[in-house]
Chains A and B, each alone.
Chain A
Amino acid sequence: MIPIKRFPVVCPACGSDLRVKSLVCDHCQTAIEGSFDIPVLCRLESDDQQFLVSYIKNNGSLKEMSRIMNLSYPSVRNRLDDIIARILKLENSTNHES
């Protein structure tokens, strides 16, 4: 089984935020080069991304999420609040850098 590579968002050498330099079309091999921001949602931990995808697919219902995850309503809401806090922190750090 091929291990799933995590999308790197932080430089392993110095810890700074990474940017996208190159994008390639897998179909025709066209390559685009530049310096692109990594969207905030992509910079979240994969667990958080999976939570948000599941949350959206369940029409934004915390009750449904709590049923699926077998957790209490406040636990799921706390998880969402923590993700919102991380998004705000990431947005602030991006604004400071730019």
Chain B
Amino acid sequence: MKAKYFFNPFERVAGWQALLVGLVMMLLTASLALVSGLRFDGVLDAHFGEHVEWWRVFADQGINWLSLVVVFYPGALLFSRSHTRFIDIAGTMALARTPMLVAAIAGLPSRLSDFISQLPNANGTTLFSTPDFWVTVVLALLMVWGTIWSAILIYNAWRVSANVKGTRAGVVYGFGLLIAEIGSKILIANI
């Protein structure tokens, strides 16, 4: 597979096909998050927290995906000169959440959540000299990488689905992502 498809699979996959794959990936991500106690409490958020009811973990995925769809579809209607199909925005945005599976896998080993839970009471020198420190750093970087990869995919999902280019694509993406992030955090906090 060419490297460009790693960051932009939407040239090949969109619509119903992308939606189906994206939904399966979201279910997998939520299942792993349920095990590790990880919560995706925002479009680009992954935090360890208290264990909550199982349905909330699955609802996180749905809310994050729908927040992107309800922001970027009207964005396409307003700012694109092309005829944008709803199913393309819905499908590509679902597939764009796949990298969160990487974050969920990285969150599985209990070392990462244990390390983070120790941080508030930690003595710096002892905590950072433990053998687990570097493993924790690698796992944390993997989670960050999953989030950045997802942000890149969301941009390309928007660009390809709505046929927007240049500054217009970048500016609407920036504002859209911010609105989706705020909206998803508010919704998740209030369910």
Contact = CB atoms under 8 A, between A and B. Distances in A.
Interface residues of B, number: 17
B11 A75 contact: yes
B141 to A, nearest CB: 31
Nearest to A75: B11
Given A72-B10, A72-B160, A77 B83 contact: yes
Interface string A69-80: 011111101100
Interface string B73-84: 000000001111
A75 B82 contact: no
Nearest to B84: A74
Contacts of A81: 81-82, 163
A74 B81 contact: no
Contact of A70 (B10, B12, B14): B12
Nearest to B9: A72
**Binding site secondary structure of chain A:** helix
Interface in B87-134: 88, 92
Contacts of A72: 10-15, 18, 88, 160
Contacts of B161: 74
A55 to B, nearest CB: 16
Interface residues of A, number: 9
Contacts of A70: 12
A74 B12 contact: no
B12 A71 contact: yes
B158 to A, nearest CB: 11
Interface of B: 10-15, 18, 81-85, 88, 92, 160-161, 163
